[in-house]
Amino acid sequence: MSTRSDSSAPARRAATLREQLREHAHRYYVLDEPQVPDAEYDRLFQELQALEAAHPDLLTADSPTQRVIGQVLDGFAEVHHTVPMLSIRTETDTEPTGALAFDARVRKELALAETDPPVRYAAELKFDGLAINLRYEHGVLVQAATRGNGETGEDVTQNIRTIGQVPLRLAQSDAAVLEVRGEVYMRRDAFEALNERQRDLIAHGARNEKTFVNPRNAAAGAVRQHDPAIARKRPLSFFAYGLGDVSGWDIPPTHGELLDALARLGLPVSQERAVVEGAEGLVAFHRRIGEQRDALPFDIDGVVYKVDDRALQKRLGFVSREPRWAVAHKYPAQEQMTELRAIDIQVGRTGKLTPVAKLVPVFVGGTTVSNATLHNEDETRRKDVRVGDTVVVRRAGDVIPEVVGVVLDRRPAHVGEPFDLYKKLDGKCPVCGSAIQRDEGEANWRCSGGLFCAAQRKHAILHFASRRAMDVEGLGDKLVEQLIDSGLIRTLPELYKLGIAKLTALERMGEKSAQNLIDGLARSKQTTLARFLFALGIRNVGETTAKDLARHFGALDRLLDATVEQLLEVPDVGPIVAESIRTFFDQPHNREVVEQLRAAGIHWVENEGTADTSPKPFAGKTFVLTGTLPTWTRDEAQAEIEAAGGKVSGSVSKKTHYVVAGEEAGSKLQKATDLGIPVLDEAGLRDLLKAGGR
The total number of residues shown for the chain amounts to 694
Nearer CB in complex with ligand D41: 244/450: 244
Nearest C-alpha neighbor of 623 from the set 596, 644, 609 = 644
Nearest C-alpha neighbor of 677 from the set 647, 654, 643, 645 = 654
**Least Å distance between CB 148 and ligand D41?**
11
Nearest C-alpha neighbor of 34 from the set 86, 63, 68, 69 = 69
**Least Å distance between CB 301 and ligand D41?**
8
H/E segment holding residue 162: none
Nearer CB in complex with ligand D41: 129/449: 129
> Which phi and psi angles does 692 have, rounded to 5°?
80, 35
Q: What is the largest CA-CA distance in the chain?
A: 100
Q: How many CB atoms lie under 10 A from the CB of residue 377? A: 22
Nearer CB in complex with ligand D41: 34/323: 323
Question: How far are the Cα atoms of 71, 137, 179 from residue 155, in angstroms, in the given order?
Answer: 13, 16, 14
Compute the distance between CA of residue 427 and CA of residue 496 in angstroms, rounded to an integer: 32
Q: Is 306 a catalytic residue?
A: no
**Least Å distance between CB 318 and ligand D41?**
8
Nearer CB in complex with ligand D41: 222/455: 222
Instruction: For 276-287, give the DSSP string.
Output: EEHHHHHHHHHH
Measured in whole angstroms, the distance separating CA 491 from the mean position of its chain's CA atoms is 34
**Least Å distance between CB 120 and ligand D41?**
16
Amino acid (one-letter) located at 586:
D
**Least Å distance between CB 125 and ligand D41?**
6
SS3 653: coil
Amino acid (one-letter) located at 260:
D
**Least Å distance between CB 42 and ligand D41?**
15
Which residue among 126, 306, 547, 647 is the active-site one?
Answer: 126
SS3 179: strand
Please report, as ranges, the residues that interact with ligand D41 according to CB under 6 A: 86-88, 124-127, 131, 147, 183, 241-242, 304, 323, 326
Q: Please name the residues in contact with 214: beta carbons below 8 A apart, sequence gap of 6 or more.
A: 128, 191, 299, 334, 335, 394, 396, 404
Nearer CB in complex with ligand D41: 330/551: 330
Q: How many CB atoms lie under 10 A from the CB of residue 33? A: 14
Compute the distance between CA of residue 537 and CA of residue 595 in angstroms, rounded to an integer: 16
Amino acid (one-letter) located at 189:
D
Question: Which residue stretches of 73-226 are H helix?
Answer: 97-109, 157-160, 188-203, 215-223
**Least Å distance between CB 255 and ligand D41?**
9
Active site residues: 126
